[in-house]
Amino acid sequence: MKYRIRPLMMLVICLLFAAWFVGPSKVLALSPASIRIRVDSNLVQMVDSLPFVENGWTYVPTRAVLEAYGVDSISWNAPFVIVNKGDMTLKIPIGQSFIEKNGIKITTESPALIKSSRTYLPIRAVIRALGGTTVWDPETKTVLITRSNTDISSAGSSRKLEISFIDVGQGESIFLNHNDTDILIDAGLESQGGRVVNYLKSQGVDDLELVVASHVHEDHIGGLPAVFDAFKVQSYLDSGISAATYSYKALESKVIAEGCLRFDDGNQILRFGDLSIQVIETVAVYEDLNDTSVVILVTYGNTKILLSGDAGVAVDRYLTKVGPVNLFKAQHHGSWTGNSEFLLSVLRPGISVISYGIGNPFGLPSQSAMAILKKHSGNVLWTAGKTVVISTDGNIMMVQ
Ligand SMILES: [Zn+2]
């Protein structure tokens, strides 16, 4: 008997402990305030009604999310929520597991609900009916919504992407603008922060949708704290490597104080309207901090832009997968440590741009790298003494 009771008691104790342990964390994980929603990377602002999980399905406040998705109208005709987008009409009944799309019934896993006189929609089913996709990211407790290509191309757009390689002397700073999307990658040395801020202001920037710190060297991140001081920053991406340097600590404290959304440099695609920012993860082990540089492939229409900070030949094998590109930011200020013959023969850029200042103390750009860049690029430009601005309509690159 002894031996039969004791295991049973142990089991009861274990179950009680497990219930105590799992219970609160589960409640925390599903508490409304902790669920975030992003449409094409843009965080949806929800004030008076928040998402929640019921029977395993995530429910979201109707208006905030559908407006962020870009539907034309939302109306109420009991018992239906009626959503119009282009030539599509969705009729979503409350309390029934189907959605009517242009008169055709689609069975769903979960019905729309009314709670405290507000309507909540089962996010997955509705977005699927609209033609988009949803992914649940458990780590950040975020529902990631991606709109369909048709939604994106029908969105209001000036059809122009502008890329500025800002003259920051010995350093690097790249600014991308497309409609209301403003993205900054690096801001040169600390002494250049003001110059970068002024340039962004001259371009009408009010906030930055994304700031990228390519790697921890001061000639890239030194000016970023001034940028955080001057603009609201929505999201931030870095290499995930820390450093015991003044410039790294200064930047990190600004990022923390800003409380913006943070991304690491793992493989992922961030979408801003019809602009795609593909982050390409490279070497896990490195000897040179330059090789930890965040690698970004920007795709806009039919054009590709490759930005890889100060990365050297150690990351070539990741970059060659990208294939030919229209615009290449030459690596490491035109150093021989990158810009290899192997890499450039695959990338064959229409334009290569080198960021460096006149009288570079390391003799950059190196003659050998310059020869390779010239051999394989349609055109080679540099920032020494002049900000280089290139614009594209998604097909043709134009130097301003
Ligand atoms: Zn550098």
**53: CA distance to ligand 1 center in Å?**
46
Residue 43 near residue 68, CB atoms below 8 Å:
no
Has residue 27 got a pLDDT over 60? no
Higher local confidence (pLDDT), 359 or 102 = 359
Mean pLDDT value across residues 121-147: 82
- Ligand 1 center to residue 256 CA distance, Å? 24
Q: Which of 47-51, 81-85, 345-349 has the highest mean pLDDT?
A: 345-349
CA of 220 to the centre of ligand 1 (A): 6
Q: Where are the alpha helices (DSSP H) in 42-104?
A: 62-69
pLDDT in tens, 173-216: 999 999 989 999 999 999 999 999 999 999 999 999 999 999 99
The rounded Å distance from CA 33 to ligand 1 centre is: 41
User: Which two structure tokens, joined as six digits, stand for 44?
Assistant: 């949806």
Residue 88 clears pLDDT 70, i.e. is over it: yes
- Cα(286) to ligand 1 centroid in Å equals 16
Q: What band does 142 get if pLDDT is binned at 50, 70 and 90?
A: confident
| C-alpha of residue 172 to centroid of ligand 1, in Å | 6
- d(CA 80, ligand 1 centre) in Å: 57
Distance 361 CA to ligand 1 centre (A): 12
* Domain boundary assignment for the chain: 44-149, 161-399
Which parts of the chain fold into alpha helices (H)? 2-30, 62-69, 123-130, 149-154, 193-202, 218-221, 224-230, 246-258, 316-319, 341-347, 367-376
0.95 surpassed by pTM: no
Q: For residue 75, what pLDDT band results from cuts at 50, 70 and 90?
A: confident
Nearest to 174 by CA among 301, 264, 263, 298: 298
Distance 383 CA to ligand 1 centre (A): 13
Does residue 237 register a pLDDT over 60?
yes
Residue 2 has pLDDT above 80, yes or no: no
pLDDT band at 351 (very low <50, low <70, confident <90, very high): very high
57 C-alpha vs ligand 1 centroid, how far in Å? 47
CA 310 – ligand 1 centroid, Å: 6
pLDDT digits (tens, 9 = 90+) for 155-169: 444 579 999 999 999
Ligand 1 center from residue 378 Cα (angstroms): 24
* Predicted local distance difference test score (pLDDT) of residue 3: 42
Residues with CB under 5 A from ligand 1 (ion): 219, 310
Q: Report the 10 Å Cβ neighbour count for 237.
A: 23
| Alpha-carbon span 82 to 79, nearest angstrom | 10
Under CATH, which architecture does the 44-149 domain have? 2-Layer Sandwich (3.30)
Using CA atoms, how far apart are residues 205 and 221, in angstroms rounded to an integer? 19
Residue 7's pLDDT is 53
Lowest mean pLDDT among 20-24, 120-124, 130-134: 20-24
**Tell me: the pLDDT tens digits for 96-117?**
888 888 777 777 878 888 888 8
Q: How far is the centre of ligand 1, averaged over its atoms, from the C-alpha of 244 (Å)?
A: 18
Looking at the domain covering 161-399, what would its CATH class be? alpha beta
Helices 123-130 and 62-69: crossing angle in degrees, nearest 10, is: 30
Least confident range of 78-92, 209-223, 377-391: 78-92
Task: Kindly give the distance from the C-alpha atom of residue 303 to the centroid of ligand 1, in angstroms, as a whole number.
Answer: 25
Strands 303-307 and 295-300: antiparallel
Residue-wise pLDDT for 207-233, tens only, equals 999 999 999 999 999 999 999 999 999
Q: Looking at mean pLDDT, say which of 6-20, 35-49, 116-130, 327-341 comes out highest.
A: 327-341
Give the pLDDT of residue 328: 97
Q: Calculate how far, in angstroms, residue 318's C-alpha sits from the geometric centre of ligand 1.
A: 20
pLDDT tens profile 259-286? 999 998 999 999 998 899 999 999 888 9
CA 18 to ligand 1 centroid distance, Å:
51
Distance 387 CA to ligand 1 centre (A): 17
| pLDDT value at residue 134 | 81
pLDDT on residue 9: 56
